[in-house]
Amino acid sequence: MKIYVKLLLTALFWGGAFVAGRIVSQNIAPFSIAFLRFAIASILLLLLTRTIKGTLPKPSKSELMALVLLGMTGIFTYNVLFFKALKLIEAGRASLIIATCPVFIAVCSALLAKERMSIVKGLGVIISVCGAGVVISRGNIDEILKGSLGRGEFYILGCVLCWVAYSLVGKAVMRRLSPLVSVSYSASIGAIALFIPAVFEGLIQNLGRQSFVDWLCVFYLGVFGTVIGFVWYYQGVERLGPTRAGLFINFVPVFAILSALLILGESVTPSLAVGAALVLTGVYLTNLHRNS
**pLDDT score, position 292:** 42
30-53 helix and 78-86 helix, angle to the nearest 10 degrees: 130
CA-to-CA dists, residue 1 to 6, 7, 62, 235, angstroms = 9, 10, 40, 13
Distance separating alpha carbons of residues 224 and 190, to the nearest angstrom: 18
Distance separating alpha carbons of residues 57 and 41, to the nearest angstrom: 18
**pLDDT score, position 149:** 66
Distance separating alpha carbons of residues 147 and 18, to the nearest angstrom: 26
Question: 3-state DSSP call for residue 269?
Answer: coil
pTM, full prediction: 0.87
**pLDDT score, position 141:** 63
**Domain definitions of the chain by residue range:** 2-287
Which pLDDT tens digits describe the chain residue by residue (292 residues)?
788 899 899 999 999 999 999 999 999 999 999 999 999 999 999 999 999 888 888 888 889 999 999 999 999 999 999 999 999 989 988 988 888 887 888 788 777 766 677 778 788 888 888 887 788 777 666 655 555 567 888 899 999 999 888 888 888 888 888 888 999 999 999 999 999 999 999 888 888 888 999 999 999 999 999 999 988 988 887 787 766 777 778 788 889 989 999 999 988 888 888 888 888 888 788 776 554 4
Q: Is residue 160 within 8 Å of residue 77, measured between CB atoms?
A: no
**pLDDT score, position 29:** 94
**pLDDT score, position 111:** 78
Q: What is the DSSP string of 118-131?
A: -HHHHHHHHHHHHH
**pLDDT score, position 72:** 96
Write down the H helix ranges in 87-222.
91-98, 101-112, 119-137, 142-146, 151-173, 179-200, 203-206, 212-219
